[in-house]
Amino acid sequence: MTPAELSDAVQIAVSAAVQAGELDAEVPREVHLERTRTREHGDYATNIAMQLAKPARKPPREVAEIIAGHLRRASGIEKVAVAGPGFLNITLDSGAAGRLAYQIVVAGTAYGRSETLRKQRINLEFVSANPTGPVHLGHTRWAAVGDSLRRILEAAGADVASEYYINDAGVQMEKFANSLLAAARGLPAPQDGYGGQYIADIAAKILEAAPHLADAPDADALPEFRERGHRLMLAEITGSLEKFGVHYDVWFSERSLHASGRVDEAIATLRTQGHVYDLDGAIWLRTTDFGDDKDRVMVKADGEKTYFAADAAYYLDKRSRGFDTCIYMLGADHHGYIGRLRALASCAGDDPDISVMVLIGQLVKLLQGGEELKMSKRAGTIVTLEDMVDLVGVDAARYTLARSSTDSQLVIDVEEITKQAPENPVYYVQYVAARTFRVAANARDLGIEWSPPESFHPELLTDDREARLLAALGDFPRVVASAAELREPHRIARYMEELAGVYHRFYDGCRILPRGEEEVSDLHRSRLWLNDATRTVISNGLAMLGVSAPERM
RNA sequence: GCGCCUGUAGCUCAGUUGGAUAGAGCGGCACUCUUCUAAAGUGCAUGCCGCAGGUUCGAUUCCUGCCAGGCGCACCA
């Protein structure tokens, strides 16, 4: 029995009570069920009686007793107890509870997937680091969280396109080109330019590919350095992200917006919507009409288009491609963008509550010897995605970055990364994958046959640890759905850590395979089903985080 | 000054429509392997859930104020 089925059963019990005239209240559309902390409180608890107490004008415990009376008649329920201020503690019949394992195994990779976000077309933009330097640790957090979110949204049935916006127009590229040129000439990095070893490396690569640039006049060499440097840097970024398991559906160039005239078009479109005006020689968008702090310049007095103008064109482009919702994942240093992006959507005639969602993530703070290490491309003291992967590997890196809420700053001690690697919770979770695999492999070696459905006897799974495991496994679809709706991948990770603990305790207390001369029993076979179900959930969950489910560790 | 985020165990952090004795991992102490992987399990210790009010039968959760930390407030990108 799944939580959803139980939730329906409770609802039916409530309406039965209402129909019998015992309860004068509206039947709630949803029944909130939660897994209990201890088995003394049964498998699931609901606070429905306390919620209905007020409208029904009866004490909560009395309401609880009434509902319990009806709920006890439902099939698959062994016990209903009224506890505390009016909780209904429900214990499932072990046969009904155990059938969940069968459903999970049959569903396989589909278990946890849903239609919650069906038909929603979502554009998910993340990382979008300037192609003027490597992907640093701050971006890496977005790579891990963003890519996981893409997988989770898809699991919830949304139609998602992940996208990387390449800021390849503007002065940053010129600074980058100047820095490369300086490095190629053996000069120090220009004021306001980029330093760091990667600049010298790229400059050397360019000279290797195009030796004639060594003697070319600066004016001729500069564009070459810019274009070649851009290509090399972007290739490096793409490569790092690919190795990190991050896939993008679209790599979108800012330049292409300017080149195709879409920036001008966007300004014209917004002008016809009536939100554009001219002042002091500049062209403005009146974002203050929609709650922004101040109006935003789209074209400066010198005729240059601002970054925001390109943003506007990019937004309109996304909408024209049919996306209902555009998710922007930005660092905390960009939180001032929320207002203008939402206002931009309003100016374009959209409802920003639907079409724009800005996820602000706090920055990753690096400590080295108790001192904060600033991440700056200019200073050249960057810890990059590649650095972190080299230290701990893709799995641990992705998991570590994705397991915390993006609302909280992440403090990572550079020196502790390596040292703590074996203690990373990712191994605690992955160990479940390895254990479940080994158990099944050993069972096959012993010649145990458990795959036919008739070898599964859910009613034998009566141990508390089996009940806890079943309840935990049953939670997975709800966790995935809420992670998708709230755009919070860390919920998957936290759930899996909990599931891992529950499984380890089951493994420790409930012998799955026969010992020595012991005969193979139905209980062994049934526990193998539970083992398989756990492996299914753990691998599905790890896949959503882009982390492998190893067969051995 | 204004705005956003955060403040929970020694450390890193969970805790969504308010609920039962506030949790996990790591770290500390003490235990458990001749039998499925001990990267595990069991027990113990450590908490004015930043502070003060308010709403409520009930607040870590909601509201207000204050304190502390981070990050922003360009005709930069």
Q: Is A106 helix (H, G, I), strand (E, B) or coil?
A: helix
For residue A377, the model assigns a pLDDT of 47
Q: Percent of chain A, pLDDT > 70?
A: 96
Is the CA virtual torsion A239, A241, A245, A247 positive or negative? negative
Give the 3-state secondary structure percentages of chain A, helix then strand then coil, rounded to 5. Answer: 55, 15, 30
Q: How far apart (Å, rounded) are the C-alpha atoms in residues A233 and A184?
A: 16
Chain A 346-385, CB < 7 Å to strand B: 360, 362-363
Task: Please name the nucleotide lying closest to A172, CA to C1'.
Answer: B77
The torsion region of residue A66 among left (phi > 0), alpha (psi -120 to 50) and beta comes to: alpha
pLDDT digits (tens, 9 = 90+) for A48-75: 888 888 788 888 888 999 999 999 999 8
Q: What is the mean pLDDT of residues A91-99?
A: 90
- Beta-carbon-side half-sphere exposure of residue A333 (alpha carbons within 13 Å): 5
Q: Locate tokens 């079409």: which residue?
A: A355
Please answer whether residues A2 and A100 qualify as being in contact, where contact means their C-beta atoms are separated by less than 8 angstroms: yes
Q: How confident is the model at residue A434 (pLDDT cuts 50, 70, 90)?
A: very high
Chain A 128-147, CB < 7 Å to strand B: 130
Q: Percent of chain A, pLDDT > 90?
A: 70
Q: What is the mean pLDDT of residues A228-244?
A: 95
Please answer whether residues A25 and A52 qualify as being in contact, where contact means their C-beta atoms are separated by less than 8 angstroms: yes
- Answer for A407: CB within 7 Å of strand B: yes
Token pair of A315, please?
Answer: 């937004």
For residue A348, the model assigns a pLDDT of 95
How are beta strands A296-299 and A282-285 bridged, if at all?
A: antiparallel
Chain A 77-106, CB < 7 Å to strand B: 83-85, 87, 89
Chain A 207-246, CB < 7 Å to strand B: none
How are beta strands A33-35 and A410-413 bridged, if at all?
A: unpaired
Q: How far apart (Å, rounded) are the C-alpha atoms in residues A22 and A16?
A: 9
Q: Is A6 helix (H, G, I), strand (E, B) or coil?
A: helix
Give the CA A274 to C1' B5 distance in Å.
34
Give the CA A473 to C1' B65 distance in Å.
44
The torsion region of residue A42 among left (phi > 0), alpha (psi -120 to 50) and beta comes to: left
Token pair of A310, please?
Answer: 């390109």
- Quote the strand ranges of A146-185, DSSP E: 159-166
Q: Is ipTM > 0.90 here?
A: yes
| Average pLDDT value over all residues in chain A | 91
pLDDT digits (tens, 9 = 90+) for A373-416: 665 544 456 678 888 888 888 999 999 999 999 999 887 777 66
Give the CA A552 to C1' B71 distance in Å.
43
Write down the pTM of the prediction. 0.94
Q: What is the mean pLDDT of residues A262-274?
A: 95
For residue A244, the model assigns a pLDDT of 95
Q: Locate tokens 């220009």: which residue?
A: A190
pLDDT digits (tens, 9 = 90+) for A435-446: 999 999 999 999
Q: Is A397 helix (H, G, I), strand (E, B) or coil?
A: helix
Q: What is the mean pLDDT of residues A230-249?
A: 95
Q: How far apart (Å, rounded) are the C-alpha atoms in residues A366 and A343?
A: 34
Give the CA A292 to C1' B74 distance in Å.
15
pLDDT digits (tens, 9 = 90+) for A525-545: 999 999 999 999 999 999 999
Non-local CB neighbours of A106 within 8 Å, separated by 6+ positions: none
Nearest residue: Cα versus C1' of B13:
A404
Task: Please name the nucleotide lying closest to A433, CA to C1'.
Answer: B37
Give the CA A342 to C1' B24 distance in Å.
37
pLDDT digits (tens, 9 = 90+) for A471-504: 999 999 999 999 999 999 999 999 999 999 999 9
Give the CA A244 to C1' B73 distance in Å.
35
Strands ordered across the beta sheet of A44-46: A33-35, A44-46, A87-92, A77-83
- Answer for A411: CB within 7 Å of strand B: yes
- Answer for A428: CB within 7 Å of strand B: yes
For residue A378, the model assigns a pLDDT of 44
- Answer for A275: CB within 7 Å of strand B: no
A265, pLDDT greater than 80:
yes
A371, pLDDT greater than 70:
no
For residue A382, the model assigns a pLDDT of 67
Q: Locate tokens 């990059």: which residue?
A: A384
- CB atoms under 10 Å from CB of A240, counted, come to 19
- Answer for A333: CB within 7 Å of strand B: yes
Q: How confident is the model at residue A276 (pLDDT cuts 50, 70, 90)?
A: very high
Give the CA A311 to C1' B38 distance in Å.
55
- Answer for A30: CB within 7 Å of strand B: yes
DSSP codes joined into one string, A115-145: STTTT-EEEEE-----TTS--BHHHHHHHHH
Q: How confident is the model at residue A283 (pLDDT cuts 50, 70, 90)?
A: very high
Give the CA A365 to C1' B20 distance in Å.
38
A208, pLDDT greater than 80:
yes
Q: Is A242 helix (H, G, I), strand (E, B) or coil?
A: helix
Task: Please name the nucleotide lying closest to A482, CA to C1'.
Answer: B16
Strands ordered across the beta sheet of A410-413: A371-373, A364-368, A410-413
Query: How many helices and strands in chain A, by DSSP H and E?
Result: 19, 15
Task: Please name the nucleotide lying closest to A440, CA to C1'.
Answer: B36
Among the residue ranges A72-86, A124-138, A325-339, A412-426, the one predicted with the least confidence is A412-426
Give the CA A218 to C1' B4 distance in Å.
44
Burial class (CB in 10 A: 0-12, 13-18, 19+), A52: buried
- Answer for A312: CB within 7 Å of strand B: no
- Answer for A417: CB within 7 Å of strand B: no
- Answer for A505: CB within 7 Å of strand B: yes
- Answer for A55: CB within 7 Å of strand B: no
Q: How far apart (Å, rounded) are the C-alpha atoms in residues A382 and A375?
A: 5
pLDDT digits (tens, 9 = 90+) for A18-28: 888 888 888 87
Query: What is each CA distance from A261 to A197, A317, A361, in whole angstroms?
Result: 37, 12, 32
Q: How far apart (Å, rounded) are the C-alpha atoms in residues A89 and A91?
A: 7
For residue A388, the model assigns a pLDDT of 85
- Answer for A457: CB within 7 Å of strand B: no
Query: What is each CA distance from A11 to A19, A57, A58, A78, A521, in whole angstroms?
Result: 12, 19, 18, 17, 38
Which positions of strand B lie within 7 Å of protein CB atoms?
3-7, 11-17, 19-21, 23-27, 35-42, 57, 69-77
- Beta-carbon-side half-sphere exposure of residue A474 (alpha carbons within 13 Å): 27
Give the CA A517 to C1' B34 distance in Å.
15
DSSP codes joined into one string, A413-451: EHHHHHHHGGGSHHHHHHHHHHHHHHHHHHHHHTT----
- Answer for A437: CB within 7 Å of strand B: yes
Task: Please name the nucleotide lying closest to A528, CA to C1'.
Answer: B36
Q: Locate tokens 């290797």: which residue?
A: A208
Q: How far apart (Å, rounded) are the C-alpha atoms in residues A264 and A261?
A: 5
Q: What is the mean pLDDT of residues A124-130?
A: 94
Give the CA A367 to C1' B74 distance in Å.
31
A139, pLDDT greater than 50:
yes
Q: How far apart (Å, rounded) are the C-alpha atoms in residues A287 and A306?
A: 15
- Answer for A419: CB within 7 Å of strand B: no
Among the residue ranges A83-92, A299-308, A360-369, A487-496, the one predicted with the least confidence is A360-369
- Answer for A334: CB within 7 Å of strand B: yes
- Answer for A40: CB within 7 Å of strand B: yes
- Answer for A336: CB within 7 Å of strand B: yes
